[in-house]
Amino acid sequence: MSDVTSAVTTSFGKAAADGRAALVGYLPAGFPSVEGAIEAARVMAAAGADVIEIGLPYSDPLMDGPVIAEAVQRALAAGTRVADVLRTVEAVAAAGVPVLVMTYWNPVDRYGVPAFARDLAAAGGSGLITPDLTIEESGAWLDAAAEHGLDRVFLVAPSSTGERIAQVTSVCRGFVYAASLMGITGTRDAVSSDAPGLVARTREHTDLPVAVGLGVSNAAQAAQVATFADGVIVGSAFVRRLLEATGSAATAAIADLTAELATSVRRPAP
């Protein structure tokens, strides 16, 4: 099934044809509850997100900043498991938006790579973003992903050499995740000055869309990234809205932020 068209790449293409960058929103499964996360993600999809990342809660989140780490720990404390993540994926995918799981590799390895790929595909998931999986150790995942037509999203960083970018992009499917800075997730006062150059260097090696994440937290920053990247990834800003409000107020806050960001990534007419 490796020749199946990527719904994620198609979504990026539709955004580009519409004169804008794609908006990719992240939320962890299980926070503020399993049903609460599903509702928030559905609202995000309805309000203008082109692709949604569902985080798989993990006890040692090396890349997560304090906002996402707090939400993940609350999800784990409430008993969120892989089955809940897959249920979240299934519910959100049914809303008509491509869904990727953002996960550290250990939970997938423990679940069993072929079984995880099978169950993710069965739930309607589009693939995985794997921030701590190196391409040298990704053979089992690449095989399983190809068998089930799943996207493989790896990260490139400002420190990546041209050779490394070529290696990483050669195994990507869906899009390439350009980490705009070295460090953990979280909101920043400004977009990293390394981001435009990283996107340009990545495009030298692939025709896949390149989306920028880490540190994009408001409409002005999203608009800036949209001028040079194919997609804008926002995570901590969404999670913060769920941490600061509850119930219908949290849902409204997610809808408002999504709509604001969806407007900001529209590129001005030439």
Give me the catalytic one of 3, 35, 39, 53: 53
Predicted confidence at residue 33, as pLDDT, reads: 97
Calculate mean pLDDT across residues 107-111. 97
For residues 126 and 51, give the distance between their C-alpha atoms in angstroms, rounded to a whole number.
10
For residues 41 and 39, give the distance between their C-alpha atoms in angstroms, rounded to a whole number.
5
Q: Is 53 a catalytic residue?
A: yes
Predicted confidence at residue 133, as pLDDT, reads: 96
For residues 55 and 34, give the distance between their C-alpha atoms in angstroms, rounded to a whole number.
12
Predicted confidence at residue 208, as pLDDT, reads: 98
pLDDT band of residue 270 (cuts 50, 70, 90) is: low
Q: Which of 24, 40, 148, 35 is nearest to 87 (CA)?
A: 35
Q: Which of 63-77, 103-117, 131-145, 186-200 has the lowest mean pLDDT?
A: 186-200
Residue 231 pLDDT > 60: yes
On whether the CB atoms of residues 180 and 215 are closer than 8 A, the answer is yes
Residue 186 pLDDT > 50: no
Predicted confidence at residue 49, as pLDDT, reads: 98
Calculate mean pLDDT across residues 135-154. 98
Does a cis peptide bond (omega within 30 degrees of 0) precede residue 32? yes
What tens digit of pLDDT does each residue of 7-52 get?
999 999 999 999 999 999 999 999 999 999 999 999 999 999 999 9
Q: Is 163 a catalytic residue?
A: no
Residue 1 pLDDT > 50: no
CA angle centred on 96, ends 50 and 149, rounded to 5°: 85
Which residue ranges form the domains of the chain, and what is each CATH number?
Answer: 7-263 (3.20.20.70)
Predicted confidence at residue 228, as pLDDT, reads: 96
Calculate mean pLDDT across residues 99-108. 97
Give me the catalytic one of 39, 50, 64, 84: 64
Predicted confidence at residue 188, as pLDDT, reads: 42
